Each structure stands twice: as structure tokens, then as C-alpha cells.
Amino acid sequence: MGLEEALGEAFLLYGQIVAIMNPFTAVNNYITLTQELSIQEARTVLRKSMAVVLFLGLLFIFAGRLILEFYHLSLAALRFGGGILLMYIAVDMLGGSPRSRQVDPGEVAVVPLATPMIVGPGTMTLLIHLGSTENPALVTIAFLASAATVAATLYSAKLITRVLGRNGVKAMARFMALIIASVAAEMLHGAVVYWARELGIG
């Protein structure tokens, strides 16, 4: 694979990962959950959260196949179950449902900010899937770029909200939901095609 082709593949992977992490959904929640904290305290929460995000993401990329083998699950089963889960998340996001509940601001760094708000079930499923089916190095690059995008978005959360407005942020989040729905459809299609071939159909 040439450099240009590798960069193109990494960019496509980045688009999938950053869509499911969906920083625009996290913006309003981040502001709400840290509104009682000073700017420095909020930034500390963000740094701790991103450290947890990086740990969880790399864990699922590189240990995802081991997790599947431990539970005796096939990639086709992951694609199908994960596709259903991602589609549910996409519909949930299109409906404007919140992804986390209000909690004590001093406890938000790990839960709910890092997980499940940024690295939720959908992100975990996608990373295990990509880590098991794609070049791990490219998936890692795409994930790190996605995490950096999330961090930069949350770091600039108040500015983004002032520029786009609450409705603008919600519109961007719903656009990301459409991308997630497309990824879900591809995963479901891949699982059905695999099982059809196993049964000698088509």
C-alpha cells in the first residue's frame, strides 16, 4: 500500500471513528457538567477524560480480537450486533436524546464524560470491528486523530456554542448521526453477506 493510499484509508477510518465519538453531541453536555467548575478545573477534567479515552480506545483496537475469542464470538456476529447497536444510537441521536445524565461535576472526568459519552458502546464496537478487520496502524492513527478532534472541540466548547448557537451544535450532531447510520448499514450488510456465503446462498 502506497503512502497516498494509506493516508486515504486512514482518512476514511477517521471519518467513521470521529462520527461515532461525535464531539458535537458532547459539547453541550461538557458545558453543562463543568459549569460549576473554574476554567482550570474544567481543563483538568478534560485532560483526565481524554487520558481515559485514549486508554480505552487503544485497548479495544489491539485487544478486541482477544475479547471476541474469549467470548467465542465471530466477526460476523460483531458486525451484525454492532450494526444494530449503531443504528439504535443513530436514531437516538437524531431524536435529540441526551447521552448522559447530570452528575456531580467533580466526578465527570471518567463517568460520564470519557465513557459512555465519548467512548460508549457504539465506539467500543466500532473500534473492535476495525481493529480486527483493518490495518491496526491505520486504525490507531485514525483513532488518535479522532481523539485529538474531540479534545480540541471540547476545549473550544464555549466558543463553538457562541459561534454556532445551540441549534447549530445540535444540527452538526445530527449530521454525525447520519454518518453513524451509514456505518451501521454497512456492518449489517457485511454480516448478512458473510452468512449467506456460508450457507451457499448467492
pLDDT in tens, 61-82: 999 889 888 988 888 888 888 8
For residues 88 and 42, give the distance between their C-alpha atoms in angstroms, rounded to a whole number.
31
Domain count, the chain: 1
Q: Which of 17, 16, 49 lies closest to 30 in space, CA to CA?
A: 49
pLDDT of 101? 44
CA distances from 19 to 35, 94, 121, 184, 200 (A): 25, 13, 14, 12, 35
- Distance separating alpha carbons of residues 159 and 154, to the nearest angstrom: 10
User: What nine digits make up the cell of 94?
Assistant: 437524531
pLDDT-derived band at 86 (thresholds 50, 70, 90) equals: confident
Domain that holds residue 157: 3-198
pLDDT value of position 34? 81
Q: Is a pLDDT exceeding 50 seen at residue 100? A: no
Number of residues that this document lists for the chain: 202
% residues pLDDT > 90 (the chain): 36
Give one word for 72, left, alpha or beta, with left for phi > 0 and alpha for psi -120 to 50: left
25 versus 56: the higher-pLDDT residue is 56
**pLDDT value at position 113?**
83
For residue 202, the model assigns a pLDDT of: 61
**CATH number of the domain residue 167 falls in:** 1.20.1250
For the cut 60, the answer to whether the pLDDT of residue 103 exceeds it is no
| Sequence letter at residue 46 | L
Q: CA-CA distance, 46 to 105, in Å (whole number)?
A: 12
Dump pLDDT digits (tens) for 107-166. Answer: 678 877 888 779 987 899 899 999 989 999 999 999 999 999 999 999 998 888 888 887
Cα separation values, 44 from 50, 109, 148, 188, 193, Å: 10, 8, 16, 39, 46
> DSSP letter at 22?
-
CA distance 196 to 155: 46
How far apart CA 148 and CA 170 sit, in angstroms, is 21
**pLDDT score of 97 more than 60:** no
The predicted structure's pLDDT at residue 18: 95
- What is the rounded average pLDDT of the residues 156-180? 81
| Cell digits of residue 88 | 439504535
